[in-house]
């Protein structure tokens, strides 16, 4: 299939601070964006018009649409708040920190099991599975074990889950950790099925992981490959369960001060990979050859989320 270059269609500019999260609704009819300024905006991606805007007291870190209830949007915040937007009407899940985990910490990512309706949450050092007990009230029913350490050389050994997604009809949960690689868990037994242990010495893989979605790592549609921002030289593509990359896509940060994890995703049915950047240019590579097909110019601005 011949690569067709992307062109700029429109620019949405109502946030007043950095955008941390973007999520298209399952139908593609809406685009949600969450910012450091605490604002959540629902857009019509065709017209560029704002459908709704809600302001939280703390930065928004994660967004996830419910694949079963197409107008349900989960919002995770830095202060531990987990909120639900239902048909564009806001409801806060009261007492989230106590109800779900017993801790008050940042909600880094949320994923919904479309088959069971359960919700997986990376909050602080823990990964929880929760279920709805009454409308918009959830309780945790399982806490995943801590992953094995990747390297004895790690200075910071704290477990920090940064991304997750359900696979295999909800039977498996893939979790990406800041210092502990990527682990696929059996949801029923809580056993580790495979583990990607990155080759980079720092072992840092600040990642959100999702099927074909815009996050710091992504799982291919066939569940065979993981692409991740390696916080070193660019982006790596791994075969699941392997700890040496199949392909390295080089794109160095502008400077050490700007060397931060960037969001990546598979596009075009998994045939290409796109990544954020620190120099205002969004690179698009072919996923098989690693050839850079296009650089999307954004005026030199830092591009964290794509």
* Mean pLDDT computed over every residue of the chain: 79
Q: What is the dihedral of CA 144, 40, 272, 282, to 10 degrees?
A: -120
Asked whether the beta carbons of 224 and 238 are under 8 A apart, the reply is: no
- Confidence at residue 205, expressed as pLDDT on a 0 to 100 scale: 44
* All structural domains of the chain with their residue ranges: 20-255
**pLDDT tens figures, 167-182:** 899 999 998 887 778 8
269: helix, coil or strand?
helix
**DSSP H helical ranges for the chain:** 96
**pLDDT tens figures, 46-57:** 999 999 898 998
**pLDDT tens figures, 266-305:** 888 888 888 877 777 888 999 889 999 998 887 656 555 5
With a pLDDT cut of 90, the percent of the chain lying above it is 23
Give the separation between CA 141 and CA 133, rounded to whole angstroms.
Answer: 11
pTM greater than 0.85: no
With a pLDDT cut of 70, the percent of the chain lying above it is 78
270: helix, coil or strand?
helix
Question: Residue written as tokens 């794109």?
Answer: 251
CATH class for domain 20-255?
Answer: mainly beta
């Amino acid at each position: 299939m011949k690569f067709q270059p992307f062109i700029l269609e429109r620019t949405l500019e109502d946030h007043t601070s950095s955008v941390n999260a973007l999520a298209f609704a399952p139908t593609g009819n809406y685009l949600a964006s969450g910012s450091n300024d605490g604002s959540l905006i629902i857009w019509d991606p065709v017209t560029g018009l704002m459908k709704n805007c809600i302001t939280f007291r703390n930065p928004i870190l994660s967004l996830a649409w419910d694949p079963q209830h197409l107008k349900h949007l989960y919002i995770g915040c830095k202060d531990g708040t987990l909120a639900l937007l239902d048909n564009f009407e806001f409801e806060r899940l009261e007492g989230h920190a106590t109800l779900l985990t017993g801790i008050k910490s940042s909600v880094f990512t949320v994923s919904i099991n479309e088959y069971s309706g359960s919700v997986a949450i990376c909050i602080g050092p823990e990964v929880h599975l929760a279920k709805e007990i009454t409308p918009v009230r959830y309780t945790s029913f399982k806490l995943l074990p801590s992953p094995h350490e990747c390297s004895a050389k790690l200075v910071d050994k704290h477990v920090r889950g940064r991304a997750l997604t359900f696979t295999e009809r909800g039977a498996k949960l893939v979790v990406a950790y800041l210092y502990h690689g990527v682990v696929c868990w059996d949801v029923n037994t809580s056993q580790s099925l495979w583990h990607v242990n990155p080759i980079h010495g720092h072992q840092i893989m600040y990642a959100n992981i999702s099927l074909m979605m815009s996050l710091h790592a992504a799982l291919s549609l066939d569940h065979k490959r993981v692409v991740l921002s390696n916080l070193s030289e660019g982006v790596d593509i791994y075969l699941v369960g392997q700890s040496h990359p199949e392909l390295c896509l080089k794109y160095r940060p502008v400077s050490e001060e700007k060397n931060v994890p960037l969001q990546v995703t598979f596009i075009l049915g998994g045939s290409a990979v796109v990544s954020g950047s620190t120099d205002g240019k969004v690179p698009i590579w072919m996923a098989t050859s690693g050839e850079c097909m296009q650089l999307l110019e954004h005026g030199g601005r830092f591009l964290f989320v794509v």
